[in-house]
Amino acid sequence: MAAARSHKELICWQRAYELKLQVYELLRTGTVTRDFDFQNQLKDSASAAPRLIAEGFGRYYPAEFSKYLRLANGELKETIESLDDGVDRRHFTTDQVIPLQRLAKRSSKAASRLIAYPATMDALKDLPPRRGRRRTQAEPKRTNRT
């Protein structure tokens, strides 16, 4: 697996960013345009997840990155809940919010897997070193002489 060189290469960021754009689109029309507090809360939670993922990626240390991924997961859960609240307030229909909630869940799942990844790397460090290929008697020992 190749290392990501930018936060934009991370699946969790891509899904969170896509969610943010779709939430912005959803907030442009209908009765929600008059519910300013609700609109701001939903906009804030949807925009926070990709921002937190990007900030955590920029911290470089796995423990700090994991912390920011957990915070992003919280914002994604808040977005899911706020979308449900929008249905309850009759700003949106269930058909409008289900695809957005799926995006949030996909981003959250990818972030959770990324949080768990450093733990698997620590476990791999504890494994005994692999032995190299054994030479047969016919193969001479290699030296670095030039």
Specify whether the CB–CB gap between 89 and 35 falls below 8 A: yes
Give residue for tokens 């995006």: 103
Q: Give CA–CA dist 3/110, Å, rounded.
A: 15
Q: Give CA–CA dist 19/43, Å, rounded.
A: 11
What is the pTM (predicted TM-score) of this model? Answer: 0.79
| pLDDT of amino acid 124 | 47
Query: How far, CA to CA in Å, does 84 sit from each of 11, 58, 80, 126?
Result: 24, 32, 6, 45
Query: How far, CA to CA in Å, does 28 sit from each of 85, 90, 98, 100?
Result: 17, 15, 18, 15
Domains and CATH numbers, the chain: 7-121 (1.20.1440.60)
Triad 18, 86, 35: Cα angle to 5°: 100
| pLDDT tens for the 146 residues of the chain, in order | 568 889 999 999 999 999 999 999 999 999 999 999 999 999 999 999 999 999 999 988 888 999 999 999 999 999 999 999 999 999 999 999 999 999 999 999 999 999 887 665 555 455 555 565 555 566 566 666 55
H or E element that contains 17? helix 11-26
Structure tokens at 110: 């990818």
Burial track 87-111 (b if 16+ CB lie within 10 A, e otherwise): eeeebbeeeebeebbebbebbbebb
| pLDDT of amino acid 143 | 64
